[in-house]
Homo-oligomer: A and B are copies of this chain.
Amino acid sequence: MMIGAPIPLRILGTGVSTPKQNVSSNELDQRLGLAEGTTFQKTGIQSRFLSTTETAAQIGSEACNLALKNASLRREDIDCLICCSATMDQGLPYNAAMILAEMGDSSGRVTAFDINASCMSFLAALDTVGYLVAAEKYTHVLLVSADIATYGVNWDDLREGGIFGDGAAAVVVRKSTSSESSSLRHSNMKTWTEGVKHCQIRGGGTRLHPLRDRAAFESALTFEMNGKAVFKLANRYLPDFINRSLSECELTLEQIDLFVPHQASKLALEHLAKKLKVPDEKIIRIFQTFGNQVGASLPTALHYGIETQKIKRGNTIMLVGTGAGLTMGTIILTY
C-alpha cells in the first residue's frame, strides 16, 4: 500500500519477443484429434506462440534488446536487470543471470536479481524498482519477464493447458525528471493464501524432487488449477481491492485512461470489464493472439498498449491482475 507522494518513474521503452512457432487453435484441434473449433470454443484464443527450441533466457534477452532499442539506449547504459518471471529457466542460477549471460554481458557492472510473485511478478518488480530509482540506487533498470508454459501444461485439458502461450517482455525505466509527469502513483499487492493450492505446479522444486520421491514427482509435472475456486476468490476480493486502490490515490474509475490487465483467461477479462463497468476500448486485450503468457502477460499487454498508441504520454493507466498465491495487485501510473 502506498499513500503518499507519487514515485518519479518513467518507462523509456518496451520490447517483446515470442518463440517462432505460432499455433492456431485449428492446428491445435488437429494435433489433439479434436473437432475443428473445439480449442477456440474452450479457450477464446485464435493463436498463441509455443516454444520448440527457444529457452526463456533467449526470448528474455531478445525482449531486453528490443526494449533498449525503443528507449534509444545501449546495453552499457543499464546498471540493473531484474527478471520478473513466474517460472525458472533452470534450477540454479536465477533467471536474471541467465538472461544477462544470454545478452552477452559479462562486464561485472550490472546488478542482477529476480523478483517472483507468479503472474504478478512484473507488477511487484515495477513497484519495487520505483523506490530504487527514486533513491538513485540505479539509473537505468531493465525489467524482463520470460515464461515458457508449453512444457508445463496438460494439453489433454484445454481449459488448463489450452489457455497458455509463451513469451517475454521487457521494460526500461529511469527516474523521471522534474519536468516529466511520468510517475508511479499507487501500488498494492496482497496475497490470500487460502488460494495457495488453487493454481500450482507441485513439482519443479525441492518438495517433490525426482531424487526425493519419484512417483510423487511424476504426478506433479504440470500446472493444476481450480478455476472455479480462483474465480470465486477473485470475485470476492478484487472489486474492493481495485476501488480501494483508486480511492487511496484520489482517483475515480473514469479517470483511468486505460486498464492493462493480466491476460488470465477470456472469462477473467470479460468479468473484469463487466464488474468494473469499463467500456471495452479502455481495456488492453491481447489474449486472443497470445493466450495467457504467465508472468510475461502483463508487460506484453503494456508493450502493445504503448506500441499501438492506445497508451499515450500523460495517460493514467492501471495495471491489474491476479496470480498464483493467490495474489492480487494493482499499479496506477502516469505514463
Interface residues of A (CB under 8 A from B): 1-2, 4, 51, 55-57, 79, 86-98, 100-101, 105-106, 108-118, 120-121, 124, 128, 131-132, 134-137, 147-148, 150-152, 188-194, 196, 199-212, 218, 220-223, 237, 323-325, 327
Contact = CB atoms under 8 A, between A and B. Distances in A.
A188 B196 CA distance: 34
Contacts of A98: 196
A116 B91 contact: no
A222 B196 CA distance: 28
B211 A151 contact: yes
**Copies of chain A in the complex:** 2
Contacts of A325: 93-94, 97, 112
B132 A191 contact: no
A191 B97 contact: yes
Given A114-B117, A131-B135, A192-B106, A203 B101 contact: no
A206 B88 contact: yes
Contacts of A114: 114-117
A101 B205 contact: no
Given A111-B191, A211-B222, A87 B206 contact: yes
Contact of A115 (B89, B113, B134, B151): B113
A191 B93 CA distance: 11
Given A91-B204, A108-B237, A193 B113 contact: no
